[in-house]
Amino acid sequence: MQIDIPNLAALPAAAQQLATAIAESGHSVVAFEGEMGAGKTTLIRALGAALGVADDVSSPTFALVNEYRDGQGKPVYHFDFYRIDSEEEAVRLGAAEYFDSGYLCLVEWPARVAGLLPTAHLQVDLAVMGSESRQLSIT
């Protein structure tokens, strides 16, 4: 599936499409790939709004994981593994337990913990097309 985001104003509609794709996939782990500054956290913030998250969605760069509640009160875990040194560090954090929890796990920089990701997960590739335009590829 591909979603074009021509500008920031189109982000909420794209996030709603992504939320629907996640629900239909049946996968609880979603891996977000994209270059630095592509807008992974911005997309996840819009996705949080589409899911009914009332909390401020921000990058867990230093905490590594933030927990939010969706509109039904279920946990949503947001990971940013950019600053992680090794998969072992992620293991100590309990990443595998989060991934196995059945709750939605949104993972930025998933390549850094590739060995811990479940085989069945949704991959979202975010490509920069222009100053505000992005293209999502969901597999």
- Is 122:22 a contact under the CB 8 Å cutoff? yes
Check: CB of residue 57 under 8 Å from CB of residue 67.
Answer: no
- Provide the residue-wise pLDDT of the chain in tens; the chain has 139 residues: 999 999 999 999 999 999 999 999 999 999 999 999 999 999 999 999 999 998 888 877 667 899 999 999 999 999 999 989 899 999 998 999 999 999 999 999 999 999 999 999 999 999 999 999 999 999 9
Report the CATH superfamily, name and number, of domain 2-138.
P-loop containing nucleotide triphosphate hydrolases (3.40.50.300)
Given a contact cutoff of 8 angstroms between Cβ atoms, the answer to whether 84 and 94 are in contact is: no
| Structure tokens that stand for 25 in this block | 């996939």
Cross-strand pairs, 126: 136
Are 90 and 113 spatial neighbours (Cβ–Cβ below 8 Å)?
A: yes
Please check whether residue 71 is in contact with residue 52, taking contact to mean a CB–CB distance below 8 angstroms: yes
Q: Which helix (H) or strand (E) holds 75?
A: strand 75-80
pTM score, whole prediction: 0.93
Please report, to the nearest 10 degrees, the dihedral formed by the alpha carbons of residues 110, 117, 52, 22 taken in order. Answer: 100
Residues 121 and 32 sit within 8 Å (Cβ to Cβ)? no
Domain boundary assignment for the chain: 2-138
* pLDDT computed for residue 61 by the predictor: 67
Bridge partners (DSSP) listed for residue 128: 134
